[in-house]
Amino acid sequence: MSTLHAPVLAWYDANQRDLPWRRPEASAWSVMVSEFMLQQTPVARVLPVWEQWMERWPTPADLAAESTGEAVRMWGRLGYPRRALRLHGAATAIAEQHDNVVPADYDDLLALPGVGDYTAAAIASFAYGRRHVVLDTNVRRVFARAVSGVEFPTTSPTRAERDLASDLVPDDAPTAATWAVAVMELGALVCTAKEARCGECPIAQECAWLTAGRPAYDGPPRKGQAWDGTDRQCRGRLMAVLRGSEGPVHVTSLVTAWERTDQRERCIDSLLADGLMVRAGDETYALP
């Protein structure tokens, strides 16, 4: 056992958030929905939408029976609405190929639409207690600081980073599953990107970055999250118009939502290409 295991696991046992998808009665499908929604989105924004989804679509088949447009509508303002399309595609595959049961095997999960390495490992680990390397942004940051001695990890995981994470996974599968979520929680609540609260950290005495004097990050510039005036904001405004309508909307409504013609047209084209919007007529658009 790594010297990091016991303090992190004890800290998690005392400080973990009570999230519905972590409770013993949570279904594998509820875990899967949470993992799709939590990608690049804070827990506080996800909770109310997750609750609405689980009430309306408690199984994959329930979602698969609806149109993709309803999935996009219910996604609301979570952002990155292509995730709704991918989740709908995964639900359809589960209903048709897995008897409406989210598979437990990593390879079966990875074969589902919209499921990548992280999501497959997270579902197998959190829903079924399997032993996997679950490497999200929070986990990578904790390992970068505590073990590698740097403030932030590289933009994308390296082979060395994956090997390190693999070496740190406990041998026992249930413990490994708890370890995965415990490190993630530590990165989300204590060892955050905005502030490293070392005084609250259970592994401060083991932390290579703290021991080195918390050296400042000296890697490539980290990308900010610009919003005002971006295509993301424009697409969001256009999608809000579509979600708010019971039927097709006229192009004039989209003009009102975003006046800059060249950007609006570009974003309409991208939404059509992504399958988030369809043409309902010569001058009308609708959800798919």
Residue 174's CB is within 10 A of a number of other CB atoms, namely 11
Token pair for 119: 């999501």
Query: Long-range contact list for 26-29, CB < 8 A, 24+ apart?
Result: 26/127, 27/58, 27/102, 27/127, 28/101, 28/102, 28/104, 28/123, 28/127, 28/128, 29/58, 29/59, 29/60, 29/94, 29/102
Q: What angle do CA 124, 89, 272 make, to 5 degrees?
A: 135
Is 96 catalytic? The answer is no
Catalytic residue from among 25, 35, 55, 70: 35
* Residue 284, φ and ψ in degrees, nearest 5: -130, 155
Distances (CA, A) of 217 to 151, 160, 174: 5, 19, 35
Long-range contacts of 71-75 (CB under 8 A, 24+ apart): 72/239, 72/242, 72/243, 72/276, 72/287, 72/288, 73/243, 73/287, 74/49, 75/49
Residues assigned a catalytic role: 35
